[in-house]
Homo-oligomer: A and B are copies of this chain.
Amino acid sequence: MNKFLGYTCSICGTEYSCTQELYTCPKDGGNLDIVLDIASIIRKYEFSDITSREENYLWRYLPLLPVVDPGFEGTPFRMTGGTPVYNPTQLRIELGLKNLWIKDEGKNPTASFKDRASAVVIARAREIGSEIVVTASTGNAGAALAGLAASIGQKAIIFAPKTAPPAKIAQLLVYRAEVILVDGNYDSAFDLSIEAVKEFGWYCRNTGFNPFTIEGKKTAAFEIWEEIIIKKSMDFKPLSIFVSVGDGNIISGIHKGFKDLISLGWIEHMPRIFGIQSEGSAAIANAFSNKSENIIPVNANTIADSISVDLPRDGVRAVRAATQTNGAFLTVTDQQILEAIAGLGKAGIFSEPAAATAYAGLVKAIESGIINQNDPVLVVNTGSGLKDIRAAMMAVKAAPIIEPTMADLKRYLQKN
């Protein structure tokens, strides 16, 4: 069953056939939405047909994805998603929230949310017979593409800024992708990769460019639906979802997932979606504040490298993810991000700066009364703290070093 009908431009609304291989709208460069054959899905599936499927991981939702079954059972590629949702009692108490969950995307195969997009884009690449998949990346999308591609023997090329955190570059190299570091920022890597794709005919995974990325990312919404909305009977009061935002593609993907569920008639209420940006990389939050969909580039500068972007490539849909769900955009400082790393760590959750940004936003939303104690909240923790230990070390006090003797230990303990 082919569920992929075509594309619609998110800006001008032009429709394109699924027989065309498109990235952004040929008319105005807008992000393309994938059009699913919702009517056929409704005829074929009840929601219990999905929730009773044996497969875990994101391919559980294959009936709702615009790709055919890619196979590769037992590989990291196939074991993407299905991430744990924590019930952090201590943080609930600390924040004064009755219902708080944290979805830990750091447990994906390459330790970030980006694996979801890479999985579905790779499935698409194989469907159309592409031999080489390329992406520009601040690190995580690249690692996700490199790692999942490696696990099924697909060739990948990654363009990344040379300033990406060492752990992310190490991942790219260990997964044996062709890695090309550019002496520039993410935006320059992005532009170069697009040029290269055009010239060499490679398939491009770029976030906010390839329309299939949000189809992978929307699976997080499906998991939240199953884990929280169904199991915890949360539909009576809208769930508030906090997610960090760089180029705007994750928040758009989560929004798309819930829009699919509404189209299918499987949920009644749209959750509220809150996008959190770093003050130093706030192009989308700025547009939201201005009640505009006009995304004006900034000179990004933030410790949260994964969401540091001058020109967000999926800004319009990101703004709508908040405006259309009664959500909002908030910004936080690098200092608040570091405090959030420490705050999550105290609950046994180790997150990279971009991931902790969402939690920092929740803290701010509570302080400013946007979220109150009765609001059920889920925070998406988009990547593992092991991805950026320089930042982690800035978030906490250094450890003492002592001689391995009881005398020295006692001296230390007495002083502290």
Residues of A within 8 A of B (CB): 72-77, 79, 84-90, 101, 107, 109-111, 147-153, 162, 166-167, 169-176, 179-184, 188-189, 191-192, 195-196, 199, 341-342, 345-350, 384-387, 389, 392-393, 395-406, 409, 412
Contact = CB atoms under 8 A, between A and B. Distances in A.
Nearest to A392: B170
B169 A399 contact: yes
Given A79-B86, A175-B350, A181-B402, 14 more contacts: A75-B87, A88-B151, A147-B348, A150-B348, A151-B348, A167-B386, A167-B389, A170-B393, A171-B385, A171-B386, A173-B345, A173-B392, A173-B397, A191-B404
Would you list the 6 A-B pairs with minimal beta carbon distance, nearest first?
A74-B87, A151-B348, A174-B345, A386-B386, A188-B404, A150-B348
Report copies per complex.
2
A406 B346 contact: no
A166 to B, nearest CB: 6
Contact of A384 (B72, B184, B386): B386
Contacts of A192: 404-406, 409
A348 B148 contact: yes
29 contacts: A72-B89, A74-B85, A75-B86, A75-B89, A76-B348, A90-B153, A107-B107, A110-B350, A148-B348, A150-B347, A151-B349, A166-B393, A170-B385, A171-B385, A172-B399, A173-B393, A173-B399, A174-B342, A174-B350, A175-B346, A176-B342, A180-B399, A180-B402, A180-B412, A183-B402, A184-B404, A188-B404, A192-B409, A196-B406
